[in-house]
Structure 1
Amino acid sequence: MQLTPEETKAVIARLKRANGHLASVIRMLEDGADCEAALLQLAAVNKAISRGGYALVSTGLQRCLAEGGPDSVDAKKMEKLFLALA
């Protein structure tokens, strides 16, 4: 399913923030930052990316339900998408 730019705007913003955050973690490591501090920041990046993925699946699911009702949702496909993020 192709989502509209309006539907993906929030997800894109979240992923761009995560991208910037990841770049700062890389700089931390290059500058010899404390391992624990870098790992905590990396965990935050990981969580932000995961939330972006879940938001994308959620947006697609909402669109399917709005357009075709509950019968339009392929449960197996949705399960596969959610598990891909796990």
Structure 2
Amino acid sequence: MDEKTDSWAEALVRLRRAQGQLAAVIAMIEAERDRKDVVTRLAVVSHALDRAGFKTVADGIRQCLTERQRGHVPPLSEAELENLFLTPS
């Protein structure tokens, strides 16, 4: 596997983990579990999503810098990638 594929694989692992945690949150709410437990699990989901997003953006920035060093114009600037990560939709 190349570096790009490895980074996607890592992001997918994190997203699948978040997906499983989110399913657990939904089940907890349906079972009317304690709100503190639900919020704690939601924090885990949020953290997993943040990590996946950070990993994807960091790898994108690294790719842009590498492409720029090779004399290629990257499809997105570092500022654009940072904005994608930090600005909620």
Q: TM-score, normalised by structure 2?
A: 0.78
1:77 counterpart residue number? 80
**Identical-pair percentage:** 33
2:22 counterpart residue number? 22
The reply to whether residue 45 of structure 1 matches residue 45 of structure 2 is yes
- Secondary structure at the residue paired with 2:60? helix
Q: TM-score, normalised by structure 1?
A: 0.80
Q: In the aligned structure 1, how far is the partner of 2:64 from the partner of 2:44? A: 30
1:57 counterpart residue number? 57
**How far does residue 66 in structure 1 lie from its aligned partner after superposition?**
1.8
**How far does residue 7 in structure 1 lie from its aligned partner after superposition?**
2.7
- In the alignment, structure 2 segments of 5+ residues that lack a partner are none
- In the alignment, structure 1 segments of 5+ residues that lack a partner are none
